Amino acid sequence: MLNGKTAVITGASAGIGKAIALQMAKNGADIAVIYKGNKAAAQTVKKQAEDIGVKAEIYACDVSDYEKSKAVCEKITADFGTIDILVNNAGIIKDNLLLRMSEQDFDEVIDINLKGVFNFTKHLSRPIMKSGSGRIINISSVSGIMGNPGQANYSAAKAGVIALTKTTAKELAGKNVTCNAIAPGFIETDMTANLPQAVKEYADNTIPLKRMGTPDEVAHLVVFLASDMSSYITGEVIKVDGGLCM
């Protein structure tokens, strides 16, 4: 579905980002793997993609840093020549109740989860427009739709990603670039593995499908939105949450 395409995926060394990178590779896309700190994990993704038969490179970057993001995007463009797909997936959590949340924890989540999306979208928009049929896919969250106690920072950032997605979709539509957001619910990753048992039991009892989702179930939708099959879909927010938020 993605033969001849080049995809940039932020936060691609683990979890949902890793699944997205490898599913894109399985569908023929060359991939640029963006990671922040775990080089060994990023190198593993690179090798797995190369074993599939596509080109893959890794790039260390703090996506919240505007200038570093710009430099990395310029390097990726030079290395690959064309950029067709951008997946803004990088994100962190710093959960706490609003009254206990520190300014630092609020700012850090906003900077990575929201400003990081702006930085990479800003710096890669021109090469993506040149591709003639570019795709931008932002990973939001159901927390950004319905809010979540203990996640004032995360919910605010993910709601911002949704608004940024719709604005980007409107601004770039004239260049045949689509921009959509995916809002996962509870997905089995290292991030959710650290949730208290009571939260996991609540999720299992509340989700209509009675289970958490898998990273590949998010990645499959990303591949579809990145492909020509989704050419008339833009500005949408699609939930992958087992029916949690409806």
Q: Is the pLDDT of residue 196 over 90?
A: no
What is the number of structural domains in the chain?
1
Express each pLDDT in 119-147 by its tens digit.
999 999 999 999 999 999 999 999 999 99
241 band by pLDDT with thresholds 50, 70 and 90: very high
Express each pLDDT in 54-96 by its tens digit.
999 999 999 999 999 999 999 999 999 999 999 999 999 999 9
pLDDT at residue 75 in the model: 98
What CATH code is carried by the domain that includes residue 151?
3.40.50.720
- Inside any domain, residue 245: no
Mean local confidence (pLDDT), 21-26: 98
193 band by pLDDT with thresholds 50, 70 and 90: confident
Q: Which of 57-66, 147-156, 192-201 has the lowest mean pLDDT?
A: 192-201
Q: Which of 35, 59, 66, 154 is catalytic?
A: 154
pLDDT at residue 201 in the model: 83
154 is catalytic: yes
- Inside any domain, residue 243: no
Q: Is the pLDDT of residue 29 over 90?
A: yes
Alpha carbons within 13 A on the beta-carbon side of 213: 25
- Inside any domain, residue 187: yes
Residues of the domain holding 65: 6-237
- Report how far residue 84's alpha carbon sits from residue 228's, in angstroms, rounded to the nearest whole number: 11
| Residue 34: burial class (beta carbons within 10 Å; 0-12, 13-18, 19+) | buried
- Inside any domain, residue 198: yes
Q: Is the pLDDT of residue 192 over 80?
A: no
Q: Is the pLDDT of residue 199 over 90?
A: no
Q: Is the pLDDT of residue 194 over 90?
A: no
- Inside any domain, residue 129: yes
- Inside any domain, residue 246: no
- Inside any domain, residue 1: no
- Inside any domain, residue 244: no
198 band by pLDDT with thresholds 50, 70 and 90: confident
